[in-house]
């Protein structure tokens, strides 16, 4: 059953956060000043069980969702995640089941995830320079361990590997070219993400944004690029390939080139709230429906009712002078 929102956008892509916890404290996502040792994360009983996640996923797939991405926090800190992957992969052989991770625990879990039915992984890495990367993850984690995770995933067939780099001015824009050179050589797809005003704790300023056009201009001056058509309607990454045929890069420009008009993504937070936008102020509680005896049909009706009323287009409306408002944290609902 296909459902459309008020702007005629279908629901096709579901991101499920399996935990609000993470073993990194990246300055643009979970800064230590906020997410310190005394921060109260969700209790185990508050987060959805694997069975509850799978039940919701089945309902969403019945509503024409074709892609599910597992996120966090850091999804691989959730114990036995491969068991959830196996449960989700049994829903449909055609389901595009993927995972976004910081890569720190990927090397030891890659084979189990692949065996369970995971199709692909995206790995976050913001610099090849250890000092810069450690300053960004703020837990002294080395670059090489992340690359080992990527290579382990590639070796077991979880590819093509995509690498996500958030670019923040004054912090890691000098890493743009080294990252492009390195992953062009490795054959992994590198995607640059404009620094976004997700949540309320990362101190976002427009001056900190390195625009997608600036990123492409920087790379193309050394390694000429040309645009490529999107793989599918609603793809958020604008694709560019090297003119010599040696691979491609992508840019996700949600600040300077908003793609709200084709956004077909929904998000489920770790405790079962349904969000219709990354920049949402509040979600819709599905956990209580799951735990209070609602039928699949009733849950499906609730989801459809929320989606058909959706009119979100925060990034298109954002300006440099947009007044701050409370927004859900990225670590809570995934990227």
Q: Is 141 domain-assigned?
A: yes
215-247: b (≥16 Cβ within 10 Å) or e: bbebbbeebebeeeeeeeebbbbbbbbbeeeeb
Q: Is 79 domain-assigned?
A: yes
Say which CATH number the domain at 61 has.
3.20.20.70
Q: Would you state the pLDDT for residue 204? A: 55
Q: Is 219 domain-assigned?
A: yes
Q: Please, which pLDDT band fits residue 318 given cuts at 50, 70 and 90?
A: low
Lowest mean pLDDT among 44-58, 170-184, 199-213: 199-213
Q: Would you state the pLDDT for residue 321? A: 52
Mean pLDDT of the chain: 90
Q: Is 4 domain-assigned?
A: no
Report pLDDT digits (tens) over 262-294: 889 999 999 999 999 887 878 999 999 999 999
Q: Is 7 domain-assigned?
A: no
pTM: 0.91
How many domains are contained in the chain? Answer: 1
- Structural domain including 190 reads 13-333
Write the DSSP symbol of residue 322: P
Q: Is 3 domain-assigned?
A: no
CA distance linking residue 154 with residue 282, whole number of Å: 37
- Greater model confidence, 166 or 256: 166
Q: Is 29 domain-assigned?
A: yes
Q: Is 5 domain-assigned?
A: no
**In the predicted model, is pLDDT for residue 295 greater than 90?**
yes
Sign for the pseudo-dihedral over CA of 176, 178, 181, 182: negative
Report pLDDT digits (tens) over 147-181: 999 999 999 999 899 999 999 888 899 999 999 99
Report pLDDT digits (tens) over 117-140: 999 999 999 999 999 999 889 999
Sign for the pseudo-dihedral over CA of 59, 63, 68, 74: negative
Q: Would you state the pLDDT for residue 254? A: 74
Q: Would you state the pLDDT for residue 236? A: 79
């Amino acid at each position: 059953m296909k459902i459309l929102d008020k702007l005629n956008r279908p629901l096709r892509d579901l991101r499920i956060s399996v935990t609000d916890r993470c073993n990194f404290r990246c300055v643009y996502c979970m800064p230590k000043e906020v997410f310190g040792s005394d921060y109260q994360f969700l209790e185990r009983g508050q987060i959805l069980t694997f069975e509850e996640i799978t039940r919701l996923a089945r309902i969403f797939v019945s509503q024409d969702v074709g892609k599910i991405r597992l996120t966090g926090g850091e999804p691989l800190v959730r114990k036995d995640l491969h068991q959830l992957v196996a449960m989700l992969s049994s829903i449909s052989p055609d389901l595009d089941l993927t995972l976004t991770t910081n890569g720190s625990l990927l090397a030891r879990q890659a084979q189990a995830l692949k065996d369970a039915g995971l199709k692909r992984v995206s790995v976050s890495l913001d610099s090849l320079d250890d000092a810069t990367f450690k300053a960004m993850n703020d837990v002294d984690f080395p670059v090489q361990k992340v690359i080992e995770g990527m290579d382990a995933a590639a070796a077991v067939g979880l590819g093509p590997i995509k690498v996500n780099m958030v670019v923040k001015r004054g912090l890691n824009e000098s890493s743009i070219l080294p990252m492009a050179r390195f992953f062009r050589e490795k054959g992994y797809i590198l995607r640059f993400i404009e620094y976004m005003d997700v949540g309320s704790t990362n101190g976002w300023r427009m001056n900190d944004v390195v625009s997608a056009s600036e990123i492409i201009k920087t790379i193309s001056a050394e390694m000429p690029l040309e645009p490529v058509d999107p793989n599918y309607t609603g793809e958020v990454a604008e694709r560019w390939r090297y003119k010599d045929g040696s691979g491609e890069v992508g840019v996700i420009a949600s600040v300077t080139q908003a793609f709200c008009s084709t956004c077909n993504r929904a998000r489920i937070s770790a405790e079962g709230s349904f969000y219709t936008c990354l920049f949402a102020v509040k979600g819709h509680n599905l956990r209580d429906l799951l735990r209070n005896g609602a039928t699949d049909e009733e849950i499906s009706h609730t989801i459809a009712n929320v989606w058909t009323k959706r009119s979100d287009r925060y990034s298109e409306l954002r300006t440099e002078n947009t007044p701050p408002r409370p927004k859900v944290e990225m670590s809570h609902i995934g990227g």
